[in-house]
Amino acid sequence: MNLPKQIKPGSELNLAPLIDCFTVLLTYLLVSTSFVSLGVLDAGILVSEPSAQGDSTARFEVELQATGQIFVRVTGPSPRAAIVPAIDGLSWDTVALRETIEDLRRQVLNLREIAVSADSDVPYAAVVRAIETLKRSLPNVYLEG
């Protein structure tokens, strides 16, 4: 039976193979992190509470439907509404959404924020795409809770 050799006192360990392995691992980690991209969804959460007085401020409300339609409402002293139809009956038209927001913004000048809500069947990617589109028109975009 072969027994392993015992380390004699005063002998040194060969660390060169261990350092070589860590060098290769470090290089691999540095190269692989260049393919990782982080995205940030910059939107606040808006909780609607009933107010005792009439709310005189105007606000956009955008609702994404599972059918692909987008309902746009302006609340406040001069309410307005618009419907952005779906593309091919399946997907959300973000270009038409932005044009609708810009048209309504020209009509009602004191609009400062947009509240976004979506049906439970709407994919997360569609909500993010809508928020990014809306942030080009107005910086204050909120998810309505």
pTM of the model: 0.60
pLDDT in tens, 58-99: 778 888 888 888 888 888 777 888 888 887 766 788 888 888
CATH for 44-144 is 3.30.420.40
Q: Please state the domain extents for the chain.
A: 44-144
Q: What's the CA gap between 36 and 28, in Å, rounded?
A: 13
pLDDT in tens, 19-55: 999 999 998 888 887 776 655 566 666 655 544 445 5
Torsion of CA 104, 110, 112, 118, to 10 degrees: -40
What is the three-class DSSP state of 36?
A: coil
